[in-house]
Amino acid sequence: MTQTKHKERPFVKMHGLGNDVIIFDCMKSVFSNPAHIARKVLNRHTGVGGDQLVLLTKSRKADFGMRIFNHDGSEAEMCGNGLRCLARYIRDAKLSQKKEMKVETLGGIRGVRFLGNQIEADMGEPQMKGKDIPVNLSGRIINRPLKIESKDFRITCLSVGNPHCVVFNDDVANFPVERFGPLLENYHLFPRRINVSFVNVISKNELFMRIWERGAGETRSCGTAACAATVAGVLNGFAERKVTIVQPGGKLEVEWSRKDNHIYLRGPAEMIFKGTILV
C-alpha cells in the first residue's frame, strides 16, 4: 500500500476579535485540494484549529488574491475579518509596504487600508435583490415573516459578497443560536446556504449580535455579518448608518456610506503564532 507523501508548509494563525484564521502563502505553490486541507488544518483536535482557512494568491486584477475555506471545506466568497488579517500578514511579511491595497476575492475586489492599529476594509455595495443574494424570493427581503418549526422569525436578507440573513431579537444573549442557526443556514429558500445573524438593538448607534456562520458554526466575530447587520438595521429603521457592532469577540466599527453606497468595516487583526504543518 502506497503512503501519501506529506509536505511541510509554513502557516500563520491570526484572529480578528476571536474569529481565528489560518493563512497559507500560496503565491508560489498552490494546494491541489484546498477543501481537504481546510478540513484537516482547521480541526481543533487533530489540526491547528480555526474558523477559516485563508490562502494568499496572485491576482491579475488586484495587488493580491484571497481564497477562503470554511471548517467544513466549503469555499466562501468573502470574509471581513480574514481580509483584515491577510492585509496585516502581507504588511508584516513585507510583501507590500502600501498603506492601501486591493485584494481580489470571489465576492469581488476589496480595498483595505491601514489606520494605525486598525485596518479598514471597503466591503463594496450591498446586494439586496433575492436573485443576487441568492434567496429564492423576489425583490428585497426586508422584515419578511418566516416560520421554522414553531418559531416565527422576521428576516432581512442581503449579500455583502456572501449571503446573509439577519434576525432582530430582544434577548440575543440567551437565544438558542446553536439550534436555529443551522436550521436557517440550510433552509430551502437559501440555495447556497446562508450566514445567520441574531441582532439585539442597543441603540441607534450600537448593535449586539451573535453569528452562525455558514460552514463554520457559531463564531466569536464575523466582519461580513457586522456589515449585513448594519445595513439591515438601517433598512428596518433601527440603526444609523455609522454604528458600533458588539460581538462576543469584541467591537467593530461599520459605516454604510451615503456618498458611494459602500460599506466600510474597521477593526483589529492580530498575530497569534507561526508554525509549520504536514499537509
Q: Catalytic annotation on 222?
A: yes
Catalytic choice (79, 85, 157, 227)? 79
Annotated catalytic residue: which of 85, 157, 165, 222?
222
CB distance 163 to 195 below 8 Å: yes
DSSP tag of 224? H
Any idea which residue has 513585507 for its cell?
94
Q: What is the DSSP string of 1-58?
A: -PPPPP-EEEEEEEEETTEEEEEEE-SS---S-HHHHHHHHH-TTTS---SEEEEEE-
Do residues 160 and 263 lie in contact, with contact meaning Cβ atoms separated by under 8 Å? yes
Classify 196 as helix, strand or coil.
Answer: strand
Phi then psi for 259, rounded to 5 degrees? Answer: -70, -50
Cβ atoms of 177 and 148 closer than 8 Å:
no
Cα–Cα distance list, 228 to 23, 91, 162 (Å): 25, 28, 10
- How many residues in the chain? 279
What is the per-residue DSSP string for 124-165? ---B-BGGGTT-SSSSBEEEEEEEETTEEEEEEEEESSSEEE
Closest C-alpha among 269, 271, 249 to residue 18: 249
The dihedral through the CA atoms of 178, 180, 181, 186 has a sign that is positive
- Residue 79 bears catalytic tag: yes
- Active-site amino acid positions: 79, 222
